[in-house]
Amino acid sequence: MRVAFLIAPEGVEQIELTDPWKAVTDAGGEPVLVSTEPGEIQSFDHLDKADTFPVDQVVGDVSAESFDGLVLPGGVANPDELRLDERAVSFVRDFFEQGRPVAAICHAPWTLVEADVVTGRTLTSWPSLRTDIRNAGGSWVDEQVRICRSGPNTLITSRKPDDLKAFCEAFLAEFAKAAPTTT
């Protein structure tokens, strides 16, 4: 199972990257850090700088068909920066167009809103995104994890770091159903 983790150069909530990354690795999968720029990304522990992580691939050089699933970690700045990058938004949209599963936690659904893929879907997120999700045509629920199957797509969403265990279990189960579809 090959999983893309789409991260902006700065602003990802570290635990929302490292816990899902470890879950993929522990399941025998291959996590790949994809960003909008080469080099390293700067993670955060809420508002404080935390560790840096090396970028494996730049978003303009990869396609959704190379992966079995996509994980979108949160942090406030991370999805806000991603949604301003058309290549990142297009990369996210491609997963939906190709029917590949996507998992998003905390503030990450902002990128989904920008990709125009929430219409008709039910999802959860950090509570401050509920109006954005509703305005984009989605339904927001306050649940630990929400799995929304719509057509060929599966969207797994979660609210916050406290939900990471359930989030990882849910997306791993859904991604395993999609593997091995990589080319």
Would you name the residues annotated as active-site residues? 106-107
**Cα–Cα distance for residue pair 114/6, rounded to 1 Å:** 14
Report the alpha-carbon distance of residue 18 to residue 138 in Å, rounded.
28
What's the rounded Cα separation, in Å, for the pair 164 and 143?
Answer: 12
35: which strand partners? 7, 58
Closest CA to 174 of 1, 25, 4: 1
> Which tokens go with 57?
């691939």
* Nearest CA among 140, 149, 27 for reference residue 99: 149
The CA-atom distances, in angstroms, between 80 and each of 48, 73, 85 are 17, 12, 9
Provide the angle, in degrees to the nearest 10, between the axes of the packed helices 14-26 and 164-178. Answer: 50
Alpha-carbon span 172 to 20, nearest angstrom = 9
